[in-house]
Chains A and B, each alone.
Chain A
């Protein structure tokens, strides 16, 4: 198993798309965190509460909503590029036990995206702190180290789980177009539709889909629901894990059952 993971690791870093996706992820994190943080600071200035402070990692948490699509692209390509080129046959010749191949991919994507989440989040936090400390933004930005660290670790976990979920969907769908559609519907389309549908049941379901579950886990205060997600962080993590496990199970079922 260690050898298979090593092979997947080598494959991940030997294509340029990986680097592009990581660069895109970082850029999206920094830019959306700055934009969101700037908006928060401006609001605080308008309200004129001089003493109000917000942790700069808060806009970073909100930025994940936008930046996650770069990581979806990366995680998706890990499997869909193999089907597109046909190299999956080569991979399965080397590792004929299919569950082992999927597990190896998941075990590579998971830590890589965790680290990518923490690092890109840290960069976005640093950039946010530097920029939002400028006088123009009224000096509302704060850098409480404990809270920031916890936020960044949670961003890493969120990214890692969304990536593995995408890998599961990609294994089930095989094509990039199909994977993107399903993942987008899961992450954005369905929850927003349900949220707009507005019935209390619809909202409850929407809030338990991966994006809002992730935001609950990261204790986001500023998101598309307009406030904190109304259940505890632990429950958010649990839902996120459920979605990830379900996607992986679906991927495994297809992988096992269908011809390569």
Chain B
């Protein structure tokens, strides 16, 4: 469990993280989203005690990171996979990390096996491809068999197999009851992996909710109705206070309404339906709505 209370970080005159209060619970994958520069990495660094918060606290299982006796056995984190001494092999790096935290040396081979880095771990870290470094970084995070894992953009640079593997890894870590906190810009990936979402915008918490709820709340989640009497039904739905749009000869799209209510209204009016279904917004769409106002470094619109 990670608990943040009023966590803030100021760089110069701008707040990179602004009064962030939230709990990341065990047994679930919590996706950490937000536009570039929103403060995700800064938040993670503060949780790990690498950056000192301007205000507020970050606790892991109730204690600050630096109070944990063998931190790697409690928290595994991948921040920047490239942040390795280029002349040291991944294997040597893991051996040193294991030694510093009283982790059995045998774990090194185990985690290298888990991430699928065999002989490559004997190469100088500088000679690894981005995807291989990413796997090495994940191996390092798993080294101490930690209760809490934190990944900053773990699928960055991974091939499709690797992406799928990370998805399964996060799922199984959460299923084992661990706390999994992962940032990503890949919405399709997050939609498949995350149970819960935390969205930051300009350092502020925009949203802290279950994925299912985020999708359901999106204005793009709608009820699609196909009926030979589309015009009639549209009138009835509007009369019932439902926002509805006719999208084709026989098709209506109603938003902000439960599918049951659409069915009931049609039944009351005696209108035959050929299809009644929910069309879920993608996370990408829901996310775009949420952050439209807080994109810091978005591309300028043409003509502006």
Contacts and interface: CB of A to CB of B under 8 A. Distances in A.
Interface of A: 3-4, 6-8, 10-11, 14-17, 81-82, 85-87, 89-90, 92-97, 259-260
A259 B68 CA distance: 19
Given A3-B101, A4-B100, A87 B83 contact: yes
- Please name the 5 residue pairs, one residue from A and one from B, whose CB atoms are nearest each other, closest first: A86-B83, A7-B100, A14-B92, A96-B66, A259-B51
Interface in B64-82: 65-66, 68, 71-72, 75, 77, 79-80, 82
Interface stretch (B42-50, B162-170, B218-226, B243-251): B42-50
B102 A87 contact: no
20 contacts: A7-B96, A10-B95, A11-B88, A11-B96, A14-B95, A15-B88, A16-B87, A81-B87, A85-B83, A87-B93, A89-B48, A89-B80, A93-B48, A93-B50, A93-B72, A93-B75, A93-B77, A94-B97, A96-B66, A259-B50
Contacts of B52: 259
B99 interface: yes
* Interface size classification for chain B: 20 to 34
Interface of B: 45, 48-52, 65-66, 68, 71-72, 75, 77, 79-80, 82-89, 92-93, 95-97, 99-102, 140
B3 to A, nearest CB: 18
B83 A7 contact: no
A4 B100 CA distance: 4
Given A96-B65, A260-B50, A17 B87 contact: yes
A205 to B, nearest CB: 37
A213 B50 CA distance: 37
Nearest to B79: A89
Given A3-B100, A4-B100, A15-B88, A92 B49 contact: yes
Contacts of B102: 3
B96 A14 contact: yes
A85 B77 contact: no
Nearest to A17: B87
B269 to A, nearest CB: 63
